């Protein structure tokens, strides 16, 4: 794999200076383009002015601007060794030509860096060291800045800031894989890349804490201000919030964010997909769900999410989805969401219950007779069930009493029978005479039938002696 870092921008933006700095600090190989025919203002530091048009076989890629053929020769491209990084300065109008070269050369990876350091034509004369070099018109500068919006990474700031960020880009594309650390993120942040509208205190060793912005949606759009900075999420409800920071991701970097620990310990849940696509530029939104039974209050500027950044395996296409470059939540929300009931889920549920109760109360008097009939039927059913239960208990009690009487009769019979054939007398209970009964006279019964059954039999003739 070989890498080609392409620096582009308006005249005087500092591309040549930054390219020289990358050769010294990032150990890159500085390459030159060619131009044919000769044109006024050609800078020998950036391109070779060729008297003759080169043969097609010698050209790696080329394009025309203002009637002049520009491009790179195969011989120049071959100066970059395998595993090395070449750096070249290219006019913004030639950037589309590089896309064809990128597609045709799988062993090459091209990263375009746009230097957006000149914002109006009044700044150019002081920045141009070569007075013979032409500057831009208002229209041409506007067109150049528009093209810079489509590069892989756009940098702005002073020469030192931009050069430091460009060096970080070279380090990133060579050492791919893993999470970006502070030493790579800070120079990119300083140059207006990755994230903008930053708070320096929110940058951590390998992440950044996003802050609650000035716009939210919770059953309706809410604007937070210094006088009214609070957002309250009802119990078991959700809000869609916007961060203060805006994304400006390079096409070789993706972001992932999640809720801060203090928030999910309070019952707040981050409910949307956490990835920020490579090349995305625009506001950052997320949906917060309050899983607590109490309202959750947030203040504008609170750090609520942590975002991390990873480099991708290859340079990706610039994000061109529906949410890119949008600066307001109102412009990003779909139309049906803006008029929907959402937000206060718990409050809506309570209201629905109260409505249902009111409807029940209003319908109840209309069917009073039916209601009374239903109550009578229920009471009658309960009475029948109790009667059946009582009858069942009585039958079981009578059955138990009959078995007890039968046992008592058997006990009396056993007590009055002779104990042996020799005529020995039966044992008598207390209170009876020890003399034998008169001859021929049957013994007097000593046990009477008693509901006590076995107890009476065990007590002898207690009943007879009374």
The total of other beta-carbon atoms located within 10 Å of residue 357's CB is 10
Instruction: Identify which of 248, 256, 271 has the alpha carbon closest to the alpha carbon of residue 327.
Output: 248
For residue 237, the enclosing domain spans: 200-348
Residue at token pair 């620096």? 7
Do 329 and 219 fall into the same domain? yes
Is residue 191 in a domain? no
Q: Which of 175, 210, 244 is the last residue of a domain?
A: 175
Query: What residues contact 436, with CB distance under 8 A and at least 6 apart?
Result: 425
Written as tens digits, the pLDDT of the chain (466 aa) is 889 999 999 988 889 889 988 988 888 998 988 887 655 444 555 677 777 788 888 888 888 777 788 888 989 889 999 889 999 998 888 888 887 888 788 888 899 999 999 988 888 887 876 554 567 888 988 999 998 988 999 999 999 999 999 999 999 888 877 889 999 999 999 999 999 999 999 999 999 999 999 999 988 889 999 999 999 999 988 899 999 999 999 999 999 988 888 887 888 888 766 788 999 988 998 889 998 888 999 999 999 999 999 998 888 877 665 555 455 666 666 555 554 445 555 555 556 656 665 665 665 555 556 666 666 777 777 777 777 766 776 776 677 667 777 777 777 777 666 544 444 443 444 444 444 444 444 444 444 444 444 443 344 433 333 3
Task: Indicate whether 18 belongs to any domain.
Answer: yes
Judgement on whether residues 205 and 310 belong to the same structural domain of the protein: yes
Q: Is 220 part of any domain? A: yes
> Which CATH number do you get for residue 229?
2.70.40.10
71 DSSP assignment: E
Residue carrying the six token digits 């009582």 = 390
Asked if the structure places residue 456 within a domain, the reply is no
Same domain, yes or no: 228 and 298:
yes
Q: Measured between alpha carbons, how far is 391 from 44 in angstroms, rounded to an integer? A: 118
Name the helix (H) or strand (E) containing 75. helix 74-77
Residues 140 and 13 in one domain: yes
Name the one residue in this structure whose structure tokens are 């893993």: 178
N-terminal to C-terminal alpha carbon distance within the chain: 125
410 is a domain residue: no
Whether 103 and 15 map to the same domain: the answer is yes
Do 227 and 137 lie in one domain? The reply is: no
Other beta carbons within 10 angstroms of residue 270's beta carbon come to: 18
Answer yes or no: do 166 and 22 share one domain: yes
The position carrying tokens 């999910």 is 264
Same-domain check for residues 80 and 11 = yes
Judgement on whether residues 204 and 308 belong to the same structural domain of the protein: yes
Clarify whether residues 22 and 153 are in a common domain: yes
- Residue 304: how many other CB atoms lie within 10 Å: 22
Structural domain includes residue 133? yes
What own/partner pairs with CB < 8 Å and gap ≥ 24 does 404-408 have?
A: 404/451, 404/453, 405/449, 405/451, 405/453, 407/453, 407/454, 408/449, 408/450, 408/451, 408/452, 408/453, 408/454, 408/456, 408/457
Instruction: Give the predicted TM-score (pTM) of the model.
Output: 0.68
Total structural domains within the chain: 2
């Amino acid at each position: 794999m070989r890498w080609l870092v392409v620096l582009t921008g308006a005249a005087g933006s500092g591309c040549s200076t930054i390219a020289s700095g990358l050769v010294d600090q990032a150990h890159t190989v500085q390459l030159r383009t060619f131009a044919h025919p000769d044109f006024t203002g050609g800078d020998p530091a950036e391109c070779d002015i060729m008297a003759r048009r080169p043969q097609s076989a010698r050209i790696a890629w080329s394009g025309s601007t203002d009637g002049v053929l520009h491009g790179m020769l195969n011989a120049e491209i071959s100066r970059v060794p395998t595993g090395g990084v070449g750096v070249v300065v290219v006019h913004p109008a030639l950037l589309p030509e590089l896309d064809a070269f990128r597609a045709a050369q799988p062993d090459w990876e091209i990263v375009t860096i746009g230097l957006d350091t000149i914002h109006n034509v009044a700044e150019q004369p002081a920045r141009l060291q070569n007075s013979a070099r032409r500057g831009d018109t208002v229209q041409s500068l506007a067109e150049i800045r528009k093209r810079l919006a489509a590069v892989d990474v756009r940098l702005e700031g002073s020469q030192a800031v931009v050069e430091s960020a460009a060096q970080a880009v070279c380090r990133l594309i060579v050492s791919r894989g893993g999470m970006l650390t502070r030493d790579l993120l800070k120079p990119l942040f300083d140059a207006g890349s990755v994230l903008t509208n930053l708070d320096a205190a929110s940058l951590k060793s390998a992440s950044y804490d996003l802050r609650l912005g000035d716009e939210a949606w919770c059953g309706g759009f809410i604007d937070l201000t210094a006088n009214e900075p609070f957002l309250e999420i009802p119990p078991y409800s959700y809000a869609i919030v916007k961060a203060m920071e805006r994304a400006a991701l390079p096409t070789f970097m993706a972001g992932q964010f999640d809720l801060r620990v203090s928030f999910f310990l309070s019952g707040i849940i981050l409910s949307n997909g956490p990835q920020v696509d490579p090349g995305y530029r625009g506001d950052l939104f997320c949906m917060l769900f309050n899983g607590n039974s109490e309202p959750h209050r947030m203040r504008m500027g609170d750090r609520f999410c942590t975002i991390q950044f990873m480099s991708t395996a290859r340079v990706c296409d610039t994000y061109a989805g529906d949410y890119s470059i949008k600066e307001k939540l109102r412009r990003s929300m779909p139309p049906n969401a803006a008029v929907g009931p959402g937000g206060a889920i718990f409050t809506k549920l309570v209201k629905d219950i109260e409505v249902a109760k009111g409807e029940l109360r209003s319908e109840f008097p209309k069917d009073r007779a039916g209601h009374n009939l239903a109550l009578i039927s229920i009471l009658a059913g309960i009475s029948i069930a109790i009667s059946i239960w009582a009858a069942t208990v009585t039958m079981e009690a009578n059955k138990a009493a009959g078995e007890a009487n039968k046992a008592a009769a058997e006990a009396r019979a056993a007590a009055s029978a002779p104990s042996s054939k020799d005529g020995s007398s039966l044992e008598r209970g207390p209170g009876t005479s020890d003399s034998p009964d008169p001859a021929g006279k049957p013994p007097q019964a000593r046990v009477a039938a008693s509901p006590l059954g076995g107890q009476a039999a065990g007590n002898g003739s207690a009943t007879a002696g009374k």
